[in-house]
Structure 1
Amino acid sequence: MEAVYIDPHFNLVVECKDGNRKAQFELYKLYSKAMYNIAMRILNDADEASDMLQESFIDAFLRIKEFRQESSFGMWIKQIVVNKCISQLRKRKFEFLSTEEVDLSEIPDEDEFNEEELQLQVEEVKKAIHMLPEGYRIVLSLYLLEGYDHEEIAFILKITESTSRTQLLRAKRKLTDLLTKIKAKDI
């Protein structure tokens, strides 16, 4: 027997398709905070995150009739937010580090990042993530926080999977160093 997923906000989306502004506002209230947090993790700038949040919802509501409801509205708006944020970053012209100098066979498939050893508070982790170079922060956020795999990250960022893996490995190492310094109060 196949599992069937029912979007709890299916009816709100149907009402939005009929042009109901109250339904749009309800969806906005339900998803705006989570979508803002995603935008903040990617952009690391409150003003830009707010702008991308607004643009994403405007885009979603303008295109709501195209939404076939094969997935939840939350998944659909999340993809719009991620794409808008990545486009915004491209406008900043960020660059990923080249993988030409790295022996990719040395990159392990298993995580070397031991979370249990780093009994740090959430604020320290957030601070360290915000201090990461942009390319590292984006890949780390998409992989660890948003749940994308390397193939999806490569597609979204228009990079290779090996670049995504390398960026994640370097981000984890840099994050570990930053967390150690924060814990020692060097930063």
Structure 2
Amino acid sequence: MSLHRKTNPLETLVLDRHIDLVEKCRTGSSKAQYELYRLYSRSMFSVAMRILNDTGDAEDVLQESFIDAFDKLNSFRSESTFGAWLKRIVINNSINYLRARRVKFEDIDMHPEVDIEDETFDEEEITLKVDEVRRAIQQLADGYRTVLTLYLFEGYDHEEIAEILKVSESTSRTQYIRAKKRLLEILKQ
């Protein structure tokens, strides 16, 4: 049994196309920039929207992120895909936008001990529609929504979230647990 993943020819073709577009952007091709924007804008808007929860803010961050990406294209080393690199820029810009609005990611060392045990719930009892969950997530405080989004939707672990938000790993875990608790409270209303 081989541990190597078989390469899908279509996937290779798409990745080669994206690498080709990045190379053309490096030479100043506005047509290639437009094509990369067209390929990635929708998914990157979704990333910004999940963090910022505001269409106008997400659009602003999206534009700023593409400008940053094109300005910093020479620092892209193809160690990851262009999409993963761009996603990190969008997430960082979204978090910086929240910070500019003075959203606080509280460090738990500043607060007295709080019991933050992760309660377990019978998932079968809680059957909710996707729209209800989306609305509830939108009601979370920005800090809670950001950590929850990075962990659940973007797939970052708490060590990575701590690095992105410049907080401790335990703060990330605490914010996530509190976000889940608050989300369940909202959903039970």
Pairing 1:146–2:157 present: no
TM-score, reference length from structure 1:
0.86
Q: Using the TM superposition, name which of 24-33 and 10-19 deviates more.
A: 10-19
Tell me if structure 2 keeps the 8 A contact 1:39–1:52: yes
Deviation at 1:102, TM superposition (A): 3.1
1:132 and 2:140 correspond: yes
**Contact kept in structure 2, 1:94 and 1:134, CA below 8 Å:** yes
Q: Which of 21, 31, 50 is the equivalent residue of 1:12?
A: 21
The 1:172–1:98 alpha-carbon spacing in structure 2 relative to 1, beyond 3 Å, is same
Alignment partner, residue 184 of structure 1: none
Alpha-carbon deviation of 1:65? Answer: 2.0
- 2:117 match: 107
Matches within 5 A, 1:65-104: 65-99=74-108, 100-103=111-114
User: Does the aligned pair in 2 maintain the 1:130–1:137 contact within 8 Å?
Assistant: yes
User: How many angstroms apart in 1 are the aligned matches of 2:43 and 2:132?
Assistant: 20
Task: Classify 1:151/1:56 alpha carbon distance in 2 versus 1 (closer, same or farther; 3 Å).
Answer: same
> Which ranges in structure 1 are unaligned for 5 or more consecutive residues?
182-187
Counterpart residue type for residue 167 of structure 2: I
How far 1:171 sits from its partner (Å)?
0.6
Letter in structure 2 aligned against 1:146: E
Contact map agreement 1:128 1:179 (CA 8 A) in 2: yes
Counterparts of 1:36-55 in structure 2 under 5 Å? 36-55=45-64
Unaligned runs of 5+ in 2: none
Shift of 1:97: 4.0
Kindly report the root-mean-square deviation, in angstroms, between the aligned alpha carbons of the 2 structures.
Answer: 2.1
Q: In structure 2, what residue type is equivalent to 1:56? A: S
Amino acid of the structure 2 residue aligned with 1:51: D
Look up the equivalent residue of 1:124 and give its one-letter code: E
TM-score, normalization: structure 2? 0.85
The amino acid of 2:142's aligned partner reads: E
Are the aligned partners of 2:107 and 2:168 in contact in 1 as well (CA < 8 Å)?
Answer: no
Identity of aligned residues (%): 52
